[in-house]
Amino acid sequence: MSNKVFAKGLAAALAASVALVPLMASAGELVIESWRNDDIDIWNDQIIPAFNKEYPEIKVTFSPTPPTDYNALINAKFAGGTAGDLITCRPFDASLELYKQGNLAPLDDIAGMDNFSDVAKSAWQTDDGSVTFCLPMASVIHGFIYNKEAFEAAGVEVPKTRAEFYAALDKIKEEGSYIPMAMGTADQWEAATMGFQNIGPNYWKGEEGRKALIDGSQKFTDKPYVDTFAELASWASYLPDGYEAISYPDAQNLFSLGRAAVYPAGSWDISLFNSQAEFEFGAFPPPPAEGSDTCYISDHTDIALGLNAKSPNAAEAKVFLEWMTGSEFASLYSNALPGFFSLSNHKVEITDPVANEFVSWRQKCESTIRNSYQILSRGTPNLENELWNISAQVINGTVTPEEAGKAAESGLAKWYAPHQ
């Protein structure tokens, strides 16, 4: 390579790296930090162009990181002063801590904040509710997605009760052409999030049990929690062989390739299955026990957008946030990302049938959020991380449901006064 060519190549590489480093963004250019790396196309092709139709002078860059790295990265970026202008907010304590450290700006003065209910805002408010520091975007709902062909092949109906659910799984297992349930425990979080938090609300009666855990009147060693672990343990016989080493993407692929009948889902899985599955699939909520008149679902406030308190482009960022409170964004987001349900009060038509099925449960079931998120994950050991480990172990069969309850309770009792 001659020197000239080399110099040109170097210049090109430098130019490319400058273009790619959001740090170097010029004034008035907004950078959105997010863990939703799956959504990069939707932001670039739909949301940002729609915003630019109204505000062509504000450039927006969506800059996501892998989900499991996000919290660590965003903390490091704030510490180093290199965080973007708009920060995607995890619910509750992770974002509250960012606000307390002065990294997130209060957003109460954003016009359109009253388009969100108090429940929607609760995940991004100070404990006394006086300051809201992130703009609620969406919630996700848990349930089960099923392969319609597999249900036909085994001759089973969509289950309405817990007994019907396990009878159906037994039948599918007996029939033998499909894996009854696609999930693994290798990544640990599926066991807690799609397992424990999915079927649990039917046992602890949603918000009632979640609040009772917070005020200390219920403990993890109580019946509802041990029963949830016991039901979780029974999943082992329906999971694919070697489920201990099956990761989340493995399970997604098993289902979308049509090899499994039921998939314990978060509603966010819908868009992946829409693009990959070549069969018809539907969804049903976690089936309650026979004779119980109420069903409970996990309708988890999951994602919001905050403003970096030190952003040099705060004015432009507020314009973007105000635009996000409108009905256009609500409908765009809910439909571009089937499975993420807008938290605003705007009436939104959802065209995707499965996403529509998920959101319809809000009418017939009671909604709750994951019980480990508010307040209870504030100390060490961290309850959410403990539940990942414990739930995975319950399914792996290395701890009994009773031991699991004791482990979760003793972790909480170590630092949380109402449980001491």
Does position 381 interact with another protein (CB under 8 A)? The reply is yes
Q: Residue 255 or residue 361: which is nearer to another protein going by CB?
A: 255
Footprint on residues 126-155 left by another protein (CB under 8 A): none
Q: How many CA atoms lie within 13 A of 210 on its CB side?
A: 22
CB 354 within 8 A of CB 282: yes
The span of 182-190, 214-222, 324-332, 342-350 binding another protein (CB under 8 A) equals: 182-190
CB of 339 to another protein, least distance (A): 20
The span of 4-12, 109-117, 335-343, 385-393 binding another protein (CB under 8 A) equals: 385-393
- Which x/- pattern, by CB under 8 A, does the window 196-235 give for another protein? ----------------------------------------
Q: Which of 244, 322, 328, 403 binds another protein (CB under 8 A)?
A: 244
Q: Residue 168 or residue 404: which is nearer to another protein going by CB?
A: 404
Does position 93 interact with another protein (CB under 8 A)? The reply is yes
Q: Which of 254, 262, 295, 307 binds another protein (CB under 8 A)?
A: 254
The span of 90-98, 282-290, 311-319, 354-362 binding another protein (CB under 8 A) equals: 90-98
- Which x/- pattern, by CB under 8 A, does the window 280-319 give for another protein? ----------------------------------------
Q: Given its phi and psi angles, is residue 134 left (phi above 0), alpha (psi -120 to 50 degrees) or beta?
A: beta
CB of 64 to another protein, least distance (A): 17
Q: Which of 61, 247, 327, 360 binds another protein (CB under 8 A)?
A: 247
Q: In terms of Cα–Cα distance, which of 391, 363, 383, 410 is closest to 199? A: 391
Look at strands 179-181 and 260-266 and give their pairing: parallel
Amino acid at 80: G
Q: Given its phi and psi angles, is residue 307 left (phi above 0), alpha (psi -120 to 50 degrees) or beta?
A: beta
Q: Residue 125 or residue 188: which is nearer to another protein going by CB?
A: 188
Q: In terms of Cα–Cα distance, which of 211, 222, 273, 262 is closest to 240? A: 262
CB of 134 to another protein, least distance (A): 16
Q: Residue 101 or residue 276: which is nearer to another protein going by CB?
A: 101
Q: Residue 47 or residue 387: which is nearer to another protein going by CB?
A: 387
Residue 57: exposure state from Cβ atoms within 10 A (0-12, 13-18, ≥19): exposed
Report how far apart the first and last C-alpha atoms of the chain are (Å, whole number): 71
Does position 246 interact with another protein (CB under 8 A)? The reply is yes
In angstroms, rounded to a whole number, what is the distance separating the alpha carbons of residues 250 and 179? 13
Does position 400 interact with another protein (CB under 8 A)? The reply is no
Q: Residue 93 or residue 357: which is nearer to another protein going by CB?
A: 93
CB of 127 to another protein, least distance (A): 12
Does position 397 interact with another protein (CB under 8 A)? The reply is no
Does position 187 interact with another protein (CB under 8 A)? The reply is yes
Does position 68 interact with another protein (CB under 8 A)? The reply is yes
CB 210 within 8 A of CB 369: yes
CB of 381 to another protein, least distance (A): 6
Does position 334 interact with another protein (CB under 8 A)? The reply is no
Give the residues lining the site for another protein (CB under 8 A): 68, 71-72, 75-76, 79, 90, 92-94, 97, 100-101, 184-189, 240-247, 250, 253-254, 372-373, 377, 380-385, 388-389, 392-393, 396, 398, 414
